[in-house]
């Protein structure tokens, strides 16, 4: 049997230092390991199953194409149940997971998705109305407002009203709990999750969560009554979930509905908001990228056609490169082997964890020469396989919102660039002479710092 490079378990303070390093400086941490141990190595822990980390395309292909039932994912995502509940898609496996995905996928694809285009553009236009010439604005606040409004309207089918406004406010505040690298530790160290009243981070989190739950349950009750009394033709995800029945003719319980809605709301807007903020950063950091992008957008003329925007080659390359250089999720979900499996001629026992390092894959010099350089052109020069470029993961856990996220990134960019000339603020311009902005940890993801600002140079008539 071939021996895989192994990082031996440590205990006590050394282990804690490793963990803290991985939380506070995730990219340096993962880069150092890849440099030292290669693209396929094992980490062992005392009294826990080993974890295999890989950024090897061949191994990734074997993992993503393994037969269903080879892995369990819910157990690894258990740490998220405090946020999304126990009935979330993220925690399901096997038949239950398959059925739930089947139910959730259609509204995020094809014609249903294209119908969201107009909503996305309207929401973007409304959010941008408040931008004033020469006044700096926090880019992440703007992109987050847009993506939150989009996901609420896609999931709930509503975009105004008292309950909706309150829900938006509460969800935004709740997610601010994890907006710094230090606060993100709350997710990784359950012993920090102590309720010391409303002035402690966890106490505040619990209060907000309770208020959100009350609002969603009220919405579920109202929507159930409405669907029972009227035969309304509605295609939003909320109604689809409400009407869905399993093979025994049973519908989803209020608790199941709540957990799934919360999952979609969280998974669906934080990630896209960070990706969009990066996109605006890169497009304005490299004037030549902006110039090419504007040239391509201008070629469409004055009437923005959503389908045409979605198909633009250079815009697509800019979006792809944005998600390559700093993938919002640096790794896939952890997959736990439920049966023996051979990967790259190494044999693994059941109860072994497998994690694909998206960040290390996206920085392989053999695939992405000069990988630290932002260069959309690489996506025009060659096509990457589903095992070489994976911002949305892969296999049966591949992100269900990838098409929505990509459409959103393109339409928001086209809309904002058609209305404004933006600039990085002076601090960022000064730093351009030195080095580009670096990502920071934000909960489970990496993101541009919340302090990242831009300003409107001029409005385009
Ligand atoms: C740029 C934006 C986004 C990125 C980078 C992203 C990335 C990811 C990744 C890496 C995974 C794990 C895949 C794996 O382990 O193989 C995932 C799963 C998931 N994503 Fe996204 N995502 C984004 C946007 C969205 C949106 C807009 C939604 C909206 C609904 C969404 C919903 C989900 C869900 C529900 C899962 C779990 C799938 C399952 O367990 O079967 N994501 N995403």
HSE-up of residue 207 (Cα within 13 Å, Cβ side): 12
pLDDT (0 to 100) of residue 202: 81
If you take atom 41 of ligand 1, which residue's CA is the nearest one?
397
Q: Is the CB of 74 under 6 A from ligand 1?
A: no
Testing ligand 1's pocket by substitution, the residue of 267, 387, 447 carrying the most ligand atoms inside 8 A of its CB is 267
How high is the pLDDT of residue 450? 87
| Best CA proximity match to 394, nearest among 326, 341, 303, 329 | 329
Asked whether 288 and 354 are in contact (CB, 8 A), the reply is: no
CA 405–ligand 1 middle distance (angstroms): 9
Residue of 102, 326, 401 best suited for mutating to test ligand 1, as the one with most atoms within 8 Å of CB: 401
Assess whether the C-beta atom of 77 lies below 6 angstroms from ligand 1: no
In a domain, 307, yes or no: yes
Please name which of 32, 25, 14, 20 lies closest in space to residue 440, comparing C-alpha atoms. Answer: 25
- Among 180, 204, 174, residue whose Cα is nearest residue 265: 174
Residue 1 falls within a domain, yes or no?
no
Residue 415 in any domain: the answer is yes
Instruction: Let me know the angle formed at the C-alpha of 416 by 412 and 417, rounded to the nearest 5 degrees.
Output: 115
CA 404 to centroid of ligand 1, rounded, Å: 10
8 A C-beta contact, residue 276 and residue 142? no
Q: Whose CA is nearest to atom 43 of ligand 1?
A: 399
Domain annotation covers residue 241: yes
Q: Ligand 1 in contact with 124 (CB < 6 A)? A: no
- How many domains does the chain divide into? 1
Out of 61, 171, 399, 408, give the residue to mutate to test ligand 1, the one with the largest number of ligand atoms within 8 Å of its CB: 399
The alpha carbon of 42 and the centre of ligand 1 are apart by a number of angstroms equal to 25
pLDDT at 436: 83
From the CB of 440, is ligand 1 less than 6 Å away? no
- Residue range of the domain that includes 109: 6-459
What Å distances lie between residue 219 and 155, 157, 226, 232, 353, CA to CA?
12, 12, 10, 16, 39
Predicted local distance difference test score (pLDDT) of residue 109: 85
Side-chain half-sphere exposure of 213, counting CA atoms within 13 A:
14
Q: What is the pLDDT of residue 199?
A: 74
Residue 35 lies in a domain: yes
Atom of ligand 1 nearest to the CA of 275: 1
Please list the rounded mean pLDDT of every run of 10 residues in the chain (461 residues).
78 73 86 94 85 97 95 93 93 94 87 87 95 94 94 82 90 79 68 75 87 93 85 75 83 92 90 97 96 95 86 97 97 96 94 97 98 97 97 97 96 96 75 73 87 94 77
CATH of the domain at 432: 1.10.630.10
Tell me, what's the pLDDT at 182? 65
Residue 201 maps to a domain: yes
**HSE-up of residue 276 (Cα within 13 Å, Cβ side):** 32
The per-residue pLDDT for 190 is 73
User: Residue 202: inside a domain, yes or no?
Assistant: yes
């Amino acid at each position: 049997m071939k021996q895989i490079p192994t990082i031996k378990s440590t205990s006590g303070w050394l282990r804690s230092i490793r963990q803290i390093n991985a939380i506070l400086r995730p990219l340096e941490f993962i880069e150092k390991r890849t440099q030292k141990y290669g693209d396929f190595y094992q980490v062992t822990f005392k009294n826990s199953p080993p974890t295999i980390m890989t950024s090897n395309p061949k191994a990734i292909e074997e993992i993503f194409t393994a037969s269903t039932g080879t892995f369990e994912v819910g157990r690894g995502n258990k740490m998220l149940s405090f946020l999304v509940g126990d009935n979330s898609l993220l925690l399901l496996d096997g038949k239950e997971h398959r059925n739930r995905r089947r139910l959730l996928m259609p509204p995020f694809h094809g014609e249903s998705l294209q119908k969201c285009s107009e909503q996305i553009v309207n929401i973007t236009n409304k959010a941008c109305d408040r931008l004033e010439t020469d006044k700096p604005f926090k880019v992440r606040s703007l992109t987050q407002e847009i993506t939150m409004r989009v996901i609420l309207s896609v999931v709930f089918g509503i975009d105004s009203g008292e309950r909706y406004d309150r829900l938006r406010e509460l969800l935004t505040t709740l997610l601010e709990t994890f907006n710094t690298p230090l606060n993100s530790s709350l997710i990784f160290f359950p012993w920090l999750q102590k309720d010391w009243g409303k002035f402690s981070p966890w106490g505040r989190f619990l209060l907000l969560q309770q208020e959100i739950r009350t609002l969603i349950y009220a919405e579920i009750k109202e929507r159930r009554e409405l669907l029972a009394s009227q035969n309304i033709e509605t295609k939003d995800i909320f109604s689809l979930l409400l009407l869905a029945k399993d093979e025994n003719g049973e519908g989803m319980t209020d608790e199941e509905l709540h957990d799934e809605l919360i999952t979609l709301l969280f998974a669906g807007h934080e990630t896209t908001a960070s990706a969009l903020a990066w996109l605006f950063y890169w497009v304005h950091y490299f004037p030549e990228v902006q110039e090419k992008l504007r040239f391509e957008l201008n070629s469409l003329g004055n009437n923005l056609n959503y389908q045409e925007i979605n198909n633009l080659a250079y815009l697509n390359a800019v979006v792809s490169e944005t998600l390559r250089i700093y993938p919002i999720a640096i790794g896939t979900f952890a997959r736990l082997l439920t049966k023996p499996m051979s990967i790259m001629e190494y044999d693994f026992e059941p109860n072994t964890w497998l994690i694909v390092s998206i960040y290390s894959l996206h920085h392989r010099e053999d695939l992405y020469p000069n990988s630290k350089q932002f260069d959309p052109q690489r996506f025009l020069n060659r096509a990457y396989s589903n095992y070489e470029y994976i911002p949305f993961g892969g296999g049966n856990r591949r992100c269900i919102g990838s098409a929505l996220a990509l459409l959103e990134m393109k339409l928001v960019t086209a809309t904002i660039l058609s209305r404004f000339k933006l600039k990085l603020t002076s601090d960022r311009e000064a730093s351009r002479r030195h080095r580009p902005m670096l990502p920071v940890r934000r909960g489970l993801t990496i993101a541009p710092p919340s302090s990242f600002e831009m300003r409107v140079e001029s409005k385009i008539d």
